[in-house]
Structure 1
Amino acid sequence: MAGLWLGIGAAFGLLGVAAGAFGAHALRARLSEDLMAVFRTAVEYQFYHVAALLAVGLLARQAQGPWLSASGIAFAFGVLVFSGSLYILALSGVRAWGAVTPIGGLALMIGWLCLIVHVARL
């Protein structure tokens, strides 16, 4: 399991750098300031959870468990839904995508809660 979470974290890191560079160089002149802020939020939260997924992977090397696995799943799903919906909103301008974002945010919070439970049980 450790390799899976480390690999997903690294892949999200790579994609986060690419998205950040794309936003800074290709989108700055094309998006309104409010949509650029949405895009930046997507990149920012993606990177926060890259660190979380890497931590899950490192912890899995020492002590695996159902709460740690649930944490990794929730973080990965949360990044896809939270950041993904914000990327789509920013690029398309379709504000309805903002209704999807809280589902990803809830998944990210569940990931942190599961990680807390895992660490408390060590």
Structure 2
Amino acid sequence: MNIFITTATIFGATAIVFGAFGAHALKKIFNQEQLKNFETGVKYQMYHALLLLIIGFNTNYITKYQTLIYYTITLGVLLFSFSIYLLCISSALNKKIKILGPITPIGGLLLIVGWFLLFLNAIN
């Protein structure tokens, strides 16, 4: 079992579900800014699902860099996209979970680190 491909398929499928949910069910309760932010979370989740999928299909054995890439991208998506989802939903329900605000940029930073590690993996 390739953990990259497994995680990619879970992230990809849930991105489609969340995207459809946002476009249809949440459209009724979200304002335009919340909808745009929710869509940003979905896009980033899907982009990184595709990245994990590409890495997974191009990996014969997992190197140290690839292990770090996997963990930074996976944790980055969970912190970035899922904090956005929860922020949008909680805000729309007038129960904004403020602690999530600082978590989003930490997730974004982990995604950047993942891309940098991919660069290092490519040049080694």
TM-score (norm: length of structure 2):
0.91
Counterpart for residue 105 of structure 1: 108
Measure, in 2, the Cα distance between the counterparts of 1:54 and 1:105.
19
Q: Give unmatched runs, 5+ long, in structure 1.
A: none
CA separation in 2, counterparts of 1:15 and 1:68?
23
Q: Does 1:9 align with 2:14?
A: no
Aligned to 2:50: 51
Aligned alpha-carbon RMSD (Å)? 1.3
SS state at 2:114 partner? helix
Aligned to 1:37: 36
Alpha-carbon distance between aligned partners in 2 of 1:58 and 1:66, rounded to the nearest angstrom: 17
Residues of 2 paired with 1:9 and 1:57: CA distance?
9
Aligned residues: 119
C-alpha separation between the residues in 2 aligned to 1:106 and 1:55? 21
Runs of 4+ in 1 over 3 A off after TM superposition: none
Tell me, in whole angstroms, the C-alpha distance in 2 between the residues paired with 1:5 and 1:54: 6
The aligned residue for residue 22 of structure 1 is 21
- Is residue 2:92 matched to residue 1:114? no
Larger helix percent: 1
TM-score (norm 1): 0.92
For 1:77, the equivalent position in structure 2 comes to 75
Report deviation, 1:95.
6.2
Deviation, 1:56, is 2.0
Q: Is the 8 A contact 1:82 1:103 kept in 2?
A: yes
Do the aligned partners of 1:12 and 1:50 also contact (CA within 8 Å) in 2? yes
Deviations 1:38-97 (A, max 9, x none): 100100100110111112212322x53101110111100000000010000010012622
SS for the counterpart of 1:60 is coil
Runs of 5+ unmatched residues, structure 2: none
CA distance in 2, matches of 1:116, 1:59: 15
What one-letter code is carried by the residue in structure 2 that aligns with 1:53?
A: L
Candidates 85, 88, 92, aligned match of 2:86: 88
Q: Distance in 2 between matches of 1:54 and 1:75?
A: 12
